[in-house]
Amino acid sequence: MIQEVKIASSRVGVLIGKSGATKRELEGKTHTTITVDSKEGLVKVESSEENTVSLLRAVEIINAINRGFSPERAFEMIEDEDLLLDVIDLSVMAEGPRQLDRLRGRIIGKDGRAREQIEDMTDVEISVFGKTIALIGYPEQLKTARAAIDMLIEGVPHENVFAFLDRKKKEAKQDMISYYY
């Protein structure tokens, strides 16, 4: 089975790693063979028929690295199969480069504090890279983080978004308490 993925030329080196270390580690952990055409940015992932899940996971990790995550952060998805990657394409929402910058700025916040706060309150890793926002997390947390990011994109004030996240965090804690008692 073969799957091809196109990645940004600026991320080819990150995927390959020093002396090919990252690529080798990904191949080893997913039991796949990865071929990188660094000129075209084309990555070919191959695996045996019975190894479809590993092939799809390798592709997801390559996509995470391509969307700005470090290999270490992306590899967390190998150790925990419940972790998912979600990518939000801002280019469909922005009418030009200035609006794209504004949207990215709202999500990142002053000195990266808004992004950090969303990460802390949802346990989701966030990468703002190019025209996309990528998230790695568990399904329920992804849903909450995605809702917060959508609110920021729509122009909801930051304090209202953080109040929403605080409410969600308290609800999740309450659900855990009632689950156990």
Q: Which of 11, 46, 79 is the last residue of a domain?
A: 79
Share of the chain above pLDDT 90, in %: 81
Which of 24, 54, 51 is closest to 15 using CA atoms? Answer: 24
Q: What is the widest separation between alpha-carbon atoms in the chain?
A: 58
Question: What does the pLDDT read at residue 173?
Answer: 79
Residues 62 and 145: their CA atoms lie apart, in Å, by 22
One-letter amino acid at 62 equals I
- Which token pair is 39? 């000129």
pLDDT in tens, 14-41: 999 999 999 999 999 999 999 999 899 9
CATH of the domain at 53: 3.30.1370.10
Q: Are residues 55 and 89 in the same domain?
A: no
**Number of domains making up the chain:** 2
Q: How far apart are CA 138 and CA 20, in angstroms?
A: 30
- On whether both 157 and 172 belong to a single domain, the answer is yes
Q: Is the predicted pLDDT of residue 176 greater than 90, yes or no?
A: no
Specify the pTM.
Answer: 0.89
Domain boundary among 47, 79, 111: 79
DSSP 75-94: HHHHH-TT-EEEEEEGGGT-
Range of the domain at 120: 84-180
Does 52 share its domain with 98? no
Same domain for 163 and 116, yes or no, is yes
pLDDT, tens only, 121-152: 999 999 999 999 999 999 999 999 999 999 99
